[in-house]
Amino acid sequence: MISSISVNKIITTLMNIACMLLLGILNYSCAKPAVDYSFDDYSIYSEFLQDDYINDINKLRTKKKQKINKAVVIMSETKIFKIMPDDLKANLKGLKDETIQDYIIKNKTTMTLENKFRCDMKVILVKESKIKKILKKGWDNFKKKYPYSSGFIFLSRVGFNKDKTQALIYVGELWGPLAGGGYYILYNLENGEWVNKASLLVWIV
């Protein structure tokens, strides 16, 4: 005969197994699949922020013995430079027509950005209306509101070629009432990484 103690042990063991199976099912159902941003707008935004903005601006601030930036303010809606330069292809060697066309089509509408950026700095998304409201009281008011950021950035949608080995983006930066610039950047995918191949400055103050 099976003793009451053995029965209790069997019941306890079965209950433990059932709980483990249930937890496994819940964890599986709740787990979010890994998202690959290698070939979307945020892959290019992140490449720009980390290698073409954060590293460069902090090197410059270190050289000038200024405090290193700890945050970057980005306008939360995409923007474009409305005039496409005629010499864009001449200045951005290797830029493909299909990349330009994709850029033009995508930027017919704006996109509200999400904080999916991957970089070594805190990203603060701010609406254009709020930035304008802050700047009405001057740049000192902006710097008081965001003391760890050198001005703000606005980004366009990203144009890709068909096989997503090339990308075109427009970036604008403002650091003060008479300090800023806007430029196009051409990226190529090389050995699985996006590489800045060329840039074209289109305005500066």
pTM, two decimals, is: 0.76
- Return the higher-pLDDT residue of 190 and 66: 190
- Give 14-68 pLDDT, tens digit per residue: 555 444 443 343 333 333 333 344 568 999 999 999 887 755 554 554 554 555 5
**Judgement on whether residues 15 and 99 belong to the same structural domain of the protein:** no
- Give 82-101 pLDDT, tens digit per residue: 878 888 999 999 999 999 99
**Judgement on whether residues 123 and 182 belong to the same structural domain of the protein:** yes
Beta bridge partners of residue 181, listed in sequence order: 173, 204
**Domain annotation covers residue 36:** no
From CA 18, how far away is CA 22, in angstroms rounded?
Answer: 6
Q: Which domain holds residue 22?
A: 1-31
**Judgement on whether residues 82 and 107 belong to the same structural domain of the protein:** yes
Q: Which residue type does 172 have?
A: G
- Give 100-135 pLDDT, tens digit per residue: 999 999 999 999 999 999 887 889 999 999 999 999
From CA 30, how far away is CA 48, in angstroms rounded?
Answer: 33
**Judgement on whether residues 2 and 68 belong to the same structural domain of the protein:** no
What is the mean pLDDT of the segment spanning 132-144? 94
